[in-house]
Amino acid sequence: MIDLRLKVDPLPIVEPLVVRLLDQPVDNRTEHDAIILDIDGDRREYEYHGFSFTVHARPHESLDGDVLLVLPGQASAHRLIRANSNHNTFLVTEQCDQLCVMCSQPPKKYHFDLFDQLAVAASLAPRDAMIGISGGEPLLHKERLFQMLFAVSASRPDLRFHILTNAQHFEPQDAERLVALGSDRILWGVPLYSANPKTHDRIVGKEGAFASLEPGLATLMRAGASVELRTVVLQQNWEDLIGVAEFIATRLGFISVWAIMQLERIGYGRMNWASSFKDTSADFEQAARAIDIAAARGLKAWLYNFPLCSVPQDYRGYAPSTISDWKRKYLDFCDGCGARETCGGFFQWYDHKEGFNGLGPI
Ligand code: SF4
């Protein structure tokens, strides 16, 4: 498993610190750069503003270009940017106004504002990077989020963002800001679990969520924003999947992508696994029909987080590898599978004893 936290020797800091680790000086050196001085086993010593900064990491693991966030009093740093990965995500808040049955990151009450530090971290990312933004619900801190996006867009127009949001906090006047940020720079990932408002609201644990989502989507549409609608398949909405496909095709044709997603067994997803997980290796019918409807209407539908062998052959082309590198694993029977190079495998926390029944090498 890839470490997203790295042990550091304590620093006498009173404010959060953003540091980029470099194996050698670069032309565009910044005040945030630390240059390596010495490596001894898992211990790496860097020079930072004349001081020594020590990071502990697995030998031979490259940290060159990685960006760390060090918080006062903490003995480990958050690895915000891994320079050699396409799977970097900023968790901007743990607060949320929903309580989804499958939430992988159950909400917390308090918010610790690190938007300024995250803007600095983004500005240090490799060229043309795509950075994920998630929560919690990022738009609960909409003004700070927009400030960060505008600041980064000004200094690093090459960067793009994929932002997960319930889209319920957009207001009509936000359309202007969305246009100014540019539709090619941000992909908004918005969950839609059912075309039936009651079912959607039940799944997200918030009455009126569906009704609030509709104007939010309208604002995104008016701004010409890029939108990825996301539907996690569950026992609770399996029979509604065709209805979702029809709803998107008739009402939301402006979206860029419809992602039909498998469940992640962590957080509330783990707690509610038995009552929520839908074994699509045993029954794929609704998903197949939903994809067919989307395709017939010219909508791009994808299957996210589906092991390839859980998908009937005719639909495997819709199932790219989507599980982030740091949380992906394969099982013993994957050894020797001809599809392993293209298959996204499983989440680290997937438990095969309670999972798909009909898997095997292909
Ligand atoms: S056997 Fe493993 S690698 Fe092959 S398709 Fe299934 S999950 Fe993917």
CB 138 within 8 A of CB 163: yes
From 58, 78, 98, the end of a domain falls on: 78
Q: What end-to-end distance do the CA atoms of the chain give, in Å? A: 25
> Are residue 56 and residue 196 in the same domain, yes or no?
no
State the closest ligand 1 atom to the C-alpha of 359, by its place in the atom list counted from 1: 6
Which pLDDT score, from 0 to 100, does residue 282 have? 97
State the closest ligand 1 atom to the C-alpha of 331, by its place in the atom list counted from 1: 2
Of all residues in the chain, the percent with pLDDT exceeding 70 is: 100
> Are residue 345 and residue 278 in the same domain, yes or no?
yes
Q: What is the mean pLDDT of residues 224-232?
A: 98
Q: Residue 362 domain-assigned?
A: no
Q: Residue 359 domain-assigned?
A: no
Of all residues in the chain, the percent with pLDDT exceeding 90 is: 96
Q: Residue 12 domain-assigned?
A: yes
Q: Residue 266 domain-assigned?
A: yes
Strand 43-48 and strand 88-91: pairing? unpaired
CB 84 within 8 A of CB 73: no
From 63, 78, 93, the end of a domain falls on: 78
Q: Residue 185 domain-assigned?
A: yes
Q: Among candidates 92, 183, 184, 104, which has minimal Cα distance to 143? A: 92
Supply the angle between the helices 209-222 and 197-204 in degrees, to the nearest 10: 100
> Are residue 64 and residue 95 in the same domain, yes or no?
no
- Of how many residues is the chain composed? 362
169-223 residue pLDDT tens: 999 999 999 999 999 999 999 999 999 999 999 999 999 999 999 999 999 999 9
> Are residue 97 and residue 73 in the same domain, yes or no?
no
Pocket test for ligand 1, best of 332, 333, 347 (most atoms within 8 A of CB): 333
Strand 226-232 and strand 186-191: pairing? parallel
Which pLDDT score, from 0 to 100, does residue 300 have? 92
Ligand 1 proximity of 72 Cβ (cutoff 6 Å): no
Q: Look up residue 74 and give its two tokens.
A: 């903490």
> Are residue 92 and residue 15 in the same domain, yes or no?
no
> Are residue 103 and residue 74 in the same domain, yes or no?
no
Q: E strand or H helix at 115, and its extent?
A: helix 115-123
12-56 residue pLDDT tens: 999 999 999 999 988 888 999 999 999 999 999 999 999 999 999
Ligand 1 proximity of 244 Cβ (cutoff 6 Å): no
Q: Residue 48 domain-assigned?
A: yes
> Are residue 13 and residue 130 in the same domain, yes or no?
no
State the closest ligand 1 atom to the C-alpha of 346, by its place in the atom list counted from 1: 7
255-296 residue pLDDT tens: 999 999 999 999 999 999 999 999 999 999 999 999 999 999
> Are residue 12 and residue 94 in the same domain, yes or no?
no
Q: Among candidates 17, 20, 18, 61, which has minimal Cα distance to 39? A: 61
Measured CA to CA, the distance from residue 306 to residue 323 in angstroms comes to 9
Which pLDDT score, from 0 to 100, does residue 199 have? 98
Cβ-proximal residues to 94 (8 Å cutoff; 6+ apart), any chain:
105, 107, 108, 110, 111, 135, 136
Pocket test for ligand 1, best of 343, 346, 350, 357 (most atoms within 8 A of CB): 343
The DSSP string of 33-49 is: EEEEEEEETTEEEEEET
Ligand 1 proximity of 337 Cβ (cutoff 6 Å): yes
Based on the structure, what is the number of domains in the chain?
2
Q: Look up residue 124 and give its two tokens.
A: 């240090």
Residues 82-97 as b/e (b if ≥16 CB within 10 A, e otherwise) read bbeeebbbbbbbbbbb
Which pLDDT score, from 0 to 100, does residue 7 have? 97
DSSP state of 263: P
Average pLDDT of every residue of the chain: 96
How many angstroms from the chain centroid is the CA of residue 345? 17
CB 158 within 8 A of CB 181: no
293 CA distance to ligand 1 middle (Å): 27
**Residue nearest to ligand 1 atom 2, measured at CA:** 334
Q: Is the pLDDT of residue 3 over 90?
A: no
Q: Look up residue 68 and give its two tokens.
A: 């760390």
> Are residue 89 and residue 70 in the same domain, yes or no?
no
pLDDT band at 348; cut points 50, 70, 90: very high
Q: Residue 361 domain-assigned?
A: no
> Are residue 269 and residue 344 in the same domain, yes or no?
yes
Q: What is the CA radius of gyration of the chain?
A: 21
Number of neighbours of residue 145 by Cβ within 10 angstroms: 22
Residues 246-280 as b/e (b if ≥16 CB within 10 A, e otherwise) read ebbbeebeebebbbbbbbbbbbbbbebbeebbbbb
> Are residue 139 and residue 162 in the same domain, yes or no?
yes
For the domain that residue 215 is a member of, what is the CATH number? Answer: 3.20.20.70
Q: Among candidates 186, 327, 210, which has minimal Cα distance to 269? A: 327
> Are residue 34 and residue 3 in the same domain, yes or no?
yes
Q: Residue 19 domain-assigned?
A: yes
Pocket test for ligand 1, best of 313, 321, 334, 352 (most atoms within 8 A of CB): 334
3-class state of residue 18 by DSSP: strand
Measured CA to CA, the distance from residue 275 to residue 337 in angstroms comes to 31
From 55, 78, 101, the end of a domain falls on: 78
State the closest ligand 1 atom to the C-alpha of 337, by its place in the atom list counted from 1: 4
Ligand 1 proximity of 308 Cβ (cutoff 6 Å): yes
Which pLDDT score, from 0 to 100, does residue 2 have? 84
Q: Is the pLDDT of residue 150 over 80?
A: yes
Parent domain of 28: 1-78
